[in-house]
Structure formats: C-alpha cells, structure tokens
C-alpha cells in the first residue's frame, strides 16, 4: 500500500505532479527575480552616483593643478585643502613623466590607470568587494593642450556596501519565508482540490457500479462543489430513468401476463372438460380471441411507444390534420354507434402541421377513442380543429364521466388508468395517452386537459401552424 501511494505521488502525468511542478517553477522564477533585480539595480545606481561625484571632484582638482607651474607635495596638499577635497582613502598626483609628487593614504595604487591617464584618457572603476564599494577615478592634468600630470582618487565606501549587503540578506530571509508560506499554502490548497477531485472520481465509480442512490457531499460555493451538485443532479436523473424503466418493464409484463393467464385458463378448461357443450366451447374460444386481441393491441401500443422513445429521427412532413381526423372518425364511427355516442365535428381547412401522419393519427385517434369510451349513453363528442394563423388547435370535448382534477397529472403516465375496472372492461391498457403525449412532444406541440362544461373532459392539443414562408 505505501509503495503504491509513493508511486502515485511521483506519477509525472498526474495532476498532483503537474500542479506542484507548476507552483515550484513559478516560485523559483519569482524568487530569483526578487533576489537579483533590487540588488543589481541598487548597486548600479551607487556606481553611477560614485562616477558622477568623483568625476566632478577629479576635474576640479585637475584644473586647479593645471594652474600650478611646478607642483610639489605641499602645493598639492594646499590645493586639496582649499578645494575641500577630503574623504578619499587615497589621493595620488604625478607629474607629466609619471613621477609621484603626492601620494597620501592607503588603498590600491593603480599604476596602470595612471599610465593610461598620462596618455590622455580617464579611467573609472568601481567594484563591490566584501560589503564595500571600492572606487577609483583617474584623470589627466592638462595645461595648454599638453598633459602635465595625472590625478587618482580612490575611495572605499563601507557604509553603502554594508547597506546593500544587509538588503541582500533581508531579501534572502523574506524569500525563504515566502517560499515556505507558498509551499505550505500550495500543499494545503492542492491537497484540498485533489481530495475533492478524488471524491468526485470515487463517486463516479460508485454510480457507474450501479448505485444510483448514491449522492456525494457537495457542500461549498466553489467550482468543485458546483461540479459535485451537477453530478448529484445527473445521478438523480439517472436514478429516475432507471426507476421508470423498471416500473415500465414490470407494468408491461403484468399487462401481458393477465390476458395470457386468461387464455391458459380458458384453453385448459376446454381441454380438461371433455363433455363441454358446443355453445360453451364457442363462448370460451371467443373469449380467447378477445384476450388475444387485447394482447395484440397492447403490444402494438408498446411498439409505438418504444418507437417514440427511440428518438429515431423521422423526417417530419406537412400533415393536414383535418384529413387525419376524418380518417380516424371513419374508424371510430362503429364504436360510437355501439356506445350510442353522438359525434360532432367542426374542422377548419388549412390546418397543416409539421409531423408524421402516423403520429398525428395516434394523437387524434386516441383522444377521440377515449372521448367515446369514457362517455355515457346518449353522450356527445365534439371534435374541433381551428387555426389562428400562428398555431393549430385540435380539441376533443366529451360529455362523459370526466377526470377528477387530482388525476389529470397522472393520466399521461404509462399504464395509468383512473378507474381500473372500467378501463380494463373497455379494453384499455392505459397506454393511449402516453403515446399521445410523447407524439405531441416529439413534434414540438403541447397538450392540456381540462373539464368540459357542464360535464366531461376537454383535451386541447396545439401545434405551430406549418407555412412555407415560415420554413
């Protein structure tokens, strides 16, 4: 186990490795800049300032010396005193031949620089050594165009050297503190983020394993918490779908089981009962036929539903709803006559919608069939089709038993029936309205159910009107 952990820690492809290498590099670059930039810029500023002040003093001294006809140690000392040139650790003055006529103080005697100065060139050097700025300025002395000597000023500035040195030490201490704080913070933050990511991936594994009830802890306001909540929502939806699927399978098997059981029972009775009279046999076989028909209807509806579920992209076409309604009425007339229900239709022309004829037929047929089936003797069904130029409205009203308000939400669920006994007796499987609902949605329509006055139900289906200009 520990070796495995170790292996994970140095896995160069891991987020942890990338995160910490990134932070490490960033820190390194920042700290290098912090250490180098202030140090060098301060040092260079000191060099520049030294050059300026030493140049002006050396120039003053050189021009004063140029005025002396025969400079010697005393006269040079006098000039230095008069010009108030002090604070130098070493001052050297030579004559034109390079002989030192004045040489006071300790520190570097840069003979080479003096020789260069005697050739007419100025030399400035400054270096930071052992926390001290060591600077020297060497300049020719010239009178009437000839070089009559050279001066050298040398200075060791410990004070500024020390300041710069202290600054460097302080920057180093601060850098170390920043580095330590950054490492601690990156570690804490990185570990938190990585822990949450691992939680998320663990949760995904659990859910992928089939536990759709699992919810991860998604407290907080950051992006990862948001991701966790999205994940929980997704799992909840998965759970929902899974439950729906299970319920559907169990309802469907139950629905198929009942007629099958009747068929077995009826056929068994015929087989076992040898001296059954012909009339009873005929009655039983008719029942078997009815049950088989019911099975057939149910399986056809299940197939229609599964086709709607499949999301297979059927190419919609302009469908004239009036024609479909008239066709459905031809099919339903016998049922209406049998139930003694009167059908009335008021159908506008030009009610064209973008759908498929099959789906439109399912919608129209099921609504009208229900209006007849759940009606009362001598009841009425009104089928209305109307367009306002924008939408097409198809309405089916009946004067039947009506649907209690609290049931209206459920009737579109698969296998749902309000009055189980009555519906089954009417041969219903509880799938008609779910087919209607799915077909309406599949073609961008909407469906509403309400009460018909003074009694009965009213179903209203709306679709956008199809027009060539609009498409």
User: What are the residues binding ligand ATP (CB under 6 A)?
Assistant: 301, 366, 370-371, 374, 398, 400-403, 411, 416-419, 423, 428-434, 457
Site track for Mg ion across 410-449, x = CB under 5 A: ----------------------x-----------------
Which lies closer to ligand ATP via its Cβ, residue 294 or residue 443?
294
Which lies closer to ligand ATP via its Cβ, residue 97 or residue 421?
421
- Residue 445 interacts with which of Mg ion, ligand ATP, none, CB < 5 to 8 Å by class: none
Q: Does 400 bind Mg ion (CB under 5 A)?
A: no
Which lies closer to Mg ion via its Cβ, residue 400 or residue 432?
432
Residues 57, 134, 370, 395: which binds Mg ion (CB under 5 A)?
A: 370
Measured from the CB of residue 456, what is the shortest distance to ligand ATP in angstroms? 7
Measured from the CB of residue 450, what is the shortest distance to ligand ATP in angstroms? 11
**For residues 292 and 263, what is the distance between their CA atoms, to the nearest angstrom?**
8
β-strands 317-320, 146-157: how paired?
Answer: unpaired
- What angle is formed at CA 377 by the lines to CA 398 and CA 462, rounded to 5 degrees? 15
Which lies closer to ligand ATP via its Cβ, residue 245 or residue 422?
422
Measured from the CB of residue 427, what is the shortest distance to ligand ATP in angstroms? 6
Site track for Mg ion across 313-352, x = CB under 5 A: ----------------------------------------
Which lies closer to ligand ATP via its Cβ, residue 94 or residue 375?
375
Q: Find the residue with minimal CB distance to Mg ion.
A: 432
- Residue 46 interacts with which of Mg ion, ligand ATP, none, CB < 5 to 8 Å by class: none
Q: Peptide bond preceding 454: is omega within 30 degrees of 0, i.e. cis?
A: yes
- Residue 55 interacts with which of Mg ion, ligand ATP, none, CB < 5 to 8 Å by class: none
């Amino acid at each position: 186990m520990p070796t495995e952990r170790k292996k994970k820690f140095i896995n160069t492809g891991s987020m942890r490795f990338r995160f910490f290498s990134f932070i490490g590099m960033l820190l390194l670059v920042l700290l290098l800049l912090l250490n180098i930039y202030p140090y060098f810029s301060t040092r260079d500023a000191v060099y520049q300032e030294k050059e300026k002040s030493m140049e002006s003093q050396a120039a003053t001294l050189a021009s004063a010396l140029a005025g002396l006809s025969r400079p010697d140690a005393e006269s040079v000392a006098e000039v230095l005193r008069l010009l108030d040139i002090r604070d130098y650790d070493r001052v050297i003055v030579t004559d034109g031949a390079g002989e030192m006529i004045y040489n006071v103080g300790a520190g570097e005697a840069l003979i080479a620089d003096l020789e260069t100065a005697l050739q007419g060139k100025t030399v400035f050097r400054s270096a930071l050594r052992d926390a001290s700025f060591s600077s020297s300025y060497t300049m020719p002395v010239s009178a009437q165009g000839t070089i009559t000597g050279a001066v050298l000023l040398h200075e060791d500035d410990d004070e500024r050297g020390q300041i710069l040195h202290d600054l460097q030490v302080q920057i180093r201490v601060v850098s170390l503190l920043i580095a330590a704080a950054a490492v601690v913070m990156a570690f804490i933050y990185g570990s938190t983020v990585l822990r949450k990511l691992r939680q998320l991936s663990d949760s995904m594994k659990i859910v992928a394993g089939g536990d759709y009830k699992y919810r991860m802890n998604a407290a907080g306001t950051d992006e990862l918490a948001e991701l966790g909540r999205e994940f929980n929502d997704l799992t909840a939806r998965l759970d929902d779908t899974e439950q729906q699927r299970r319920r559907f399978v169990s309802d469907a098997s139950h629905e198929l089981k009942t007629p099958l059981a009747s068929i077995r029972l009826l056929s068994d009775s015929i087989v076992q009962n040898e001296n059954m009279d012909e009339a009873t046999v005929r009655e039983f076989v008719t029942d078997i036929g009815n049950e088989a028909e019911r099975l057939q209807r149910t399986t056809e509806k299940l197939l229609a539903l599964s086709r709607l579920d499949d999301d297979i992209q059927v190419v919609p076409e302009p469908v004239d709803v009036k024609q479909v309604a008239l066709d459905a009425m031809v099919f339903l007339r016998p049922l209406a006559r049998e139930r003694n229900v009167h059908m009335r239709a008021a159908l506008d022309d030009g009610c064209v919608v973008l759908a498929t004829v099959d789906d439109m037929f399912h919608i129209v047929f099921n609504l009208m069939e229900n209006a007849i089936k759940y009606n009362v003797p001598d009841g009425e069904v009104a089928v209305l089709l109307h367009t306002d130029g924008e939408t097409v409205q198809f309405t089916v009203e009946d004067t039947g038993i009506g649907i209690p308000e609290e049931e209206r939400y459920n009737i579109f669920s698969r296998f749902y029936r309000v009055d189980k006994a009555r519906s089954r007796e009417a041969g219903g499987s509880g799938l008609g309205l779910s087919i209607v609902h799915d077909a309406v949605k599949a073609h961008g329509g909407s469906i509403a159910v309400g009460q018909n006055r003074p009694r009965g139900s009213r179903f209203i289906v709306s679709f956008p009107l199809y027009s060539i200009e609009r498409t």
